[in-house]
Structure 1
Amino acid sequence: MKADNFASVVARFIQALKVPVTSKSVREQLLIHPDYGTFRAISDVLDNWKIPNAAYCLKFDQLADVPTPYIAQLKGAEFAVVTKRSERAFVVSNEDWRNKSLTIEEFRDSYSGYILVAEKEAHSAEPGYLSKRMNEVLESIRIPFVIACIIFFLISFFALNSSYLRSFNARITTLLLIKTCGVLVSMVLLIQNIDENNPLIQKICGAKEQRCNAILSSRAAKITAQLSWSEVGFFYFAGTWLLTLFSQGSLNYLATIALLNALALPYTFFSIYYQGVVAKQWCVLCCSVQAIFWIEFFLTSNQLFHHFNFNGWRELYLIFLLLAVPVIMWIFVKPYLAASKQIAPLQLQLQQFKFNRNRFHQLLEQEANYKLPDGMDTLILGDPDAKLTLTMVSDPFCGPCAKIHRTLEEWLPLRSDIKLQVVFYTPSDEDDERNKVASTLLSLQDTENDNYLRKAMHDWYRKRKFQKWSKKYRKDIHRNTQHMLNMSREWCRMAEIATTPTLFLNGRRLPKGYQSEDLRYFI
């Protein structure tokens, strides 16, 4: 199973259900699940966003009664979203297909026998969806925005320097368009060099035949271990594109372009020979490059007989500078692109190692067990008799504590088998506002119900403005809460609490490297 298949299918399924959840959140939540790549992972993630769901093992003939959309597991451990079904076909989507129609026979041959169905409810949604969606949109337009800025600056430059525009005749304009095509094709080839499974490459070349990958991944596609023909092609097209753009009709510039093109032509014979005779496969992108070379030749061949007449070193220096710009740029950019390709699989491996249930529980068992002493009172949220106890040592004015509280507030209400126990670690000064907040919450536990206490904690951690909050919630203190806080303080010292927040699960400190948001899939 390809990593992008699993996340893409779940994201498309949620979109088909019309539940407001960002694709980024889908990927992040699936990635940290210990059972990544299974229906259990999908079910747990859907539960996070209050989307009722269930998985079934059904024979193919039973699918006629299943309402769409649903996720079907295909043979080969891959998944697809079934968005529509008719008497003749299934309409499915995945990371490569968008509402692709498969015949009944095609779908039957690939169906594994397992599906997952879900239904949107009124409260189904991702908390904070609007802000997360805005961030996702801004991230998606970052590269187009940069490209648009470059185009804007180029247009502005030529608008302010009209002499450049006057030098553009029909032949130079045509040559510039051809060079632009060459730059675009060579950039696609560079993408293949970095990521051979890129969807753009597969769409251009055909995902099944893999003809482009077979040619571009061969030994003949490289000059050295560090330099490929694709990179040389990019240097050529990008460099000569800049020469054409800034030539101002200079015959020396055009003659240089013609000479470089003539030097590149022998490569076209080698490429065609290798594809047709040796590999016996044709690469659409490679053939496009060769065609562009020859079209350029017919446009510039008459400049080959021009005698170079450089007026000093300035013009020669500018030619070398323009040709060197793409090379220098690529030297700096390539390592970052290569590293980015490795990040996703390494991150997946790291997450699968970290979120291994057996490993987590082994590490947890190695931690010391700190039981609360008899008579020590704490703040309890949830069923006091719950099987699992999550203890959070908190400082009311601690920023990270507020963040963890918000995280726990999202998913703990979904778990009736877990109670949250809050131990306040506050100063000994009774007049300290941290003490006052803690004593107020402890007092509310005696006089108010669980929902009121949750609201009081929510309101506090949302803004942490004592004066305003105390007017609403700080009432008569009904018991000796200060004695309780003193006991909590002594226990924190005994447990060697150095920072807040600190989390304990059933009395054992959470192992290093694990956060509150990681717990939902372990317990």
Structure 2
Amino acid sequence: MIFDKLINYLKLDKQEFIFQFNSHPNYPSALAFSDTLNFMGVKNDAYELDKEYWDELPEEFIAIVDNSFSLVKKAGNSYSVYSEKANTLNKEDLHKKSTDFVLLFEKTENAESKAAVNLKPILYIVFAIVLIYSFLSQTLYEALFNVLSLAGVYISLELFNQKFGNTSSVIGSICGDTTASQAANSCDKIIKQDKTSILGLKFADFSLIYFTGLVVLGLFLPTTAYIVKGFTFVSVLAIGYSLYIQAFVEKTFCRVCLLIISILVGQLVVSTLLFENISFGIGTLLLTAILWIIIFSAVLYVNNLLSYKETLQKSNAKNLRFKRNYELFKSQLVDNEKIEFRDNETFSLGNKDAKLHISIVSNPYCGFCKDAHKIMEDLLEKYPEQLSAQLRFNYFPEKANEKYTKLISDFTNIYHNKPEKEFLKTVEEWFETKDESKISTKSTATEGSENLNPIIEMSKDNTDAGLTFTPVFIINGHQFPDKYDREDIWFFIDELIEDEDF
């Protein structure tokens, strides 16, 4: 299922999104898509909505158009639809091609933070430096040769990235529609089905090696003119091979391949007409050989690294799809003996009448507890009415020093006298700073003014249940399974809330 335009619009990391989507136990359902968006920081709600009510929808929403999850944007009397590519549909065509599924979303800062690092600006800077040097320090035709080499590098890099699942708008615009009905213009048949393999490198990968080498050699023209001219003549073999495969084997022409061939022909013409009276040096030849070895090794290393990563991600996706199955998680959860705590509402949060209750056993001075508390805070923020929670700090006065006692007293005072959000913010600030004085400024507690007996009793209950190591998540009395990471709760929280039998 392809939804490149949608992912690009939401500024999500495509590889991360596809990995999480594929690893969802309900893949490729609408639930899997919705949960993945939530995981990537795009809050959303899904509905089955009759078309007659679609006029009431926001300006932007997600729908299933032509069996693909698509971003739909109202544009006057028409709709812009973004999925594999961008289309414009009128209201009647949109309703005809869509299901009743709609998903309303809200982007958050978290979505931006998960976006992949964009290395293209660095590439453009390098290209700019090469171009400036070429036009300032070389002849016009030598500079033209370097421009052609840079064009070859850019297109080859786009092909290289596309091989590992990254969408290229440049390649897409050159190749045109890649659907089955447009197979004659498709690059897939030539590029993706390339049977060439030398140490795992495809024919298109060698164009990246070739043009990168020419960019470096081109900077030293005319000293390297003899070497450059030799390579451009050798490229005739590659041109002939590519044309033969397209014309007689696959019987279709690849536009991007023809563009690369045009670049090669252009370099051949420039080198034939302009590189004359050139000399040959053994030193230059030796340095050229070292250059090609370095570039070949670098491309081979990156190719193998990305291939391994891709294989690993596919394997992990299958494993995680099994691991993230709710029924499996639930069976592991209820296998843990149920813990019965005595009634104690100290540090109780959320909706106390909610049927799903989560407790976290922790210690304010525990270094690992910070992330666990953050998960709890985020859960309460997202599900304030569906979730009840309790912070169960382990505190024993006979073992605690004066600072710890004062900190627990301050927490108790703030909990009883300030709004819940302020209490949670205080706990969060504590784990960020570990500064008792900052917490003390928010409290009016004095020595002995707070009743700490409920916390002491709660701590004894924790100890009686064997909960001495922190942090520990407890869901409706069952300890969170050891086979899962605490962050995995995000994959099951909706089903836990909706599970009437749990």
| Number of the residue aligned with 1:74 | 65
Q: 1:33 to 1:10 in 2, by over 3 A?
A: farther
Farther off after superposition, 171-180 or 387-396: 171-180
Alignment RMSD:
4.1
Change (3 A) 1:236 1:478: closer
Number of the residue aligned with 1:184: 154
CA–CA distance in structure 2, aligned partners of residues 299 and 188 of structure 1 = 25
Distance 2:249 2:19 in 1: 47
CA distance in 2, matches of 1:29, 1:416: 31
Does residue 314 of structure 1 match 2:283? yes
2:82 maps to which of 85, 93, 99 = 93
Percent of paired sites with the same residue: 18
Residue among 356, 365, 368 paired with 1:397: 365
1:102 corresponds to which residue? 89
Deviation of the 1:363 alpha carbon = 0.9
Q: Which has the larger displacement, 338-347 or 390-399?
A: 338-347
**Which letter does structure 2 place at the counterpart of 1:296?**
Q
Alignment of 1:477-516 (within 5 A): 477=448, 481=452, 483-497=453-467, 499-512=469-482, 513-515=484-486
Aligned match of 1:226 = 200
Instruction: State the distance in 1 between where 2:390 and 2:80 align.
Output: 49
User: Aligned in 2, Cα 1:319/1:386: closer, same or farther, shift over 3 Å?
Assistant: closer
Listed one character per residue, the Cα deviations across residues 451-476 of structure 1 (whole Å, up to 9, x for unaligned) are: 66546545544543223423432525
| Residue in 2 that maps onto 1:412 | 380
Contact 1:39–1:116 (Cα < 8 Å) also in 2: no
1:317 CA displacement = 1.7
Gap regions ≥5 residues in structure 2: 497-502
Structure 1: state its 5+ residue gaps: 16-21, 119-123
Does structure 2 conserve the Cα–Cα contact (< 8 Å) formed by 1:175 and 1:299?
yes
Equivalent residues in 2 for 1:117-516, closer than 5 Å = 117=104, 126=108, 129=109, 133=112, 140-141=117-118, 143-147=119-123, 150=126, 168-195=138-165, 198-206=168-176, 207-208=178-179, 209=182, 211-219=186-194, 221-224=195-198, 226-247=200-221, 249-250=222-223, 253-301=224-272, 309-310=280-281, 313-342=282-311, 345-346=314-315, 348-372=317-341, 374=342, 378-413=346-381, 414-427=383-396, 428-442=398-412, 453-454=423-424, 457-458=427-428, 460-461=430-431, 463-475=433-445, 477=448, 481=452, 483-497=453-467, 499-512=469-482, 513-515=484-486
Kindly tell me: are residues 403 and 187 of structure 1, through their superposed partners in 2, closer, same or farther at Cα, counting changes over 3 Å?
A: closer
Deviation at 1:187, TM superposition (A): 2.5
Give the distance between the partners of 2:352 and 2:92, measured in 1 at CA. 55
Would you say the 8 A contact 1:259–1:304 is kept in 2?
no
Does the aligned pair in 1 maintain the 2:409–2:450 contact within 8 Å? no
Q: Which residue is equivalent to 1:520? A: 493
Contact 2:131 2:143 in 1 (8 A): no
SS of the equivalent of 2:395 reads: coil
Q: Deviation digits for residues 450-501 of structure 1, max 9, x if unmatched?
A: 56654654554454322342343252556752x5444444433343335321
Using a 3 Å threshold, how does the CA distance of structure 1 residues 237 and 443 change in structure 2: closer, same or farther?
A: closer
Q: Distance in 2 between matches of 1:416 and 1:276?
A: 65
Q: Give the letter for the 1:501 counterpart.
A: P
Tell me how far apart the structure 1 counterparts of residues 41 and 290 of structure 2 sit (CA, whole Å). 55
Residue 252 of structure 2 aligns with an amino acid whose one-letter code is Q
- Name the structure 1 match of 2:99: 112
Q: Report the alpha carbon displacement of residue 365 of structure 1 after superposing the two structures with TM.
A: 1.2
**2:201 is paired with a residue of what secondary structure?**
coil
CA distance in 2, matches of 1:196, 1:125: 22
Residue 350 of structure 1 and its aligned partner are, at CA, apart by 4.5
2:499 aligned partner:
none
> Cα 1:415–1:274, aligned 2, differ >3 Å: closer, same or farther?
same
Give how far 1:390 is off.
0.9
Distance change in 2, residues 1:348/1:70 (3 Å): same
- Taking a change above 3 Å as real, the CA distance of residues 448 and 114 of structure 1, as seen in their structure-2 partners, is closer
CA contact (8 A) 2:348 2:389 kept: yes
d(CA) in 1 for partners of 2:71 and 2:467?
Answer: 48
Instruction: For 1:255 and 1:239, locate their aligned partners in 2 and report how far apart those are by CA, in whole Å.
Output: 14
Letter in 1 for 2:358: L
Give me the TM-score of the superposition, normalised by structure 2: 0.80
Moved more, 35-44 or 319-328: 35-44
Conserved 8 A contact 1:96-1:199: no
Whether the aligned pair in 1 keeps the contact of 2:412 and 2:450 (CA below 8 Å) is no
Which of 40, 49, 55 is the equivalent residue of 1:57? 49
Contact 1:391 1:503 (C-alpha < 8 Å) held by counterparts: yes
Q: 1:444 to 1:306 in 2, by over 3 A?
A: closer
Please state whether the residue corresponding to 2:357 is helix, strand or coil.
strand
| Structure 2 letter corresponding to 1:96 | K
Query: TM (normalized to structure 1)?
Result: 0.77
How far apart are residue 385 of structure 1 and its match? 3.9
Could you say if the C-alpha distance between residues 471 and 174 of structure 1 is closer, same or farther in structure 2, counting changes exceeding 3 Å? closer
Contact 1:190 1:231 (C-alpha < 8 Å) held by counterparts: yes
Q: Count how many residue pairs are aligned between Structure 1 and Structure 2.
A: 482
Distance 1:490-1:301 versus aligned 2 partners, 3 A rule = same
Greater Cα offset, 504-513 or 440-449: 440-449
Say if 2:6 and 2:82, in contact at 8 Å, map to a contact too.
yes
Q: Name the structure 2 match of 1:19.
A: none
**Given residue 189 of structure 2, which amino acid in structure 1 is its aligned partner?**
A
Distance (Å, rounded) in 1 between the aligned partners of 2:8 and 2:192: 31
Q: Distance in 2 between matches of 1:47 and 1:33?
A: 11
Once the two structures are TM-superposed, the CA of residue 42 in structure 1 deviates from its matched residue by 6.7
The worse-fitting range, judged by mean Cα deviation, of 194-203 and 395-404 is: 194-203
| Aligned-partner Cα distance in 1 for 2:395–2:298 | 55
Instruction: Give the superposition deviation at 1:258.
Output: 2.0
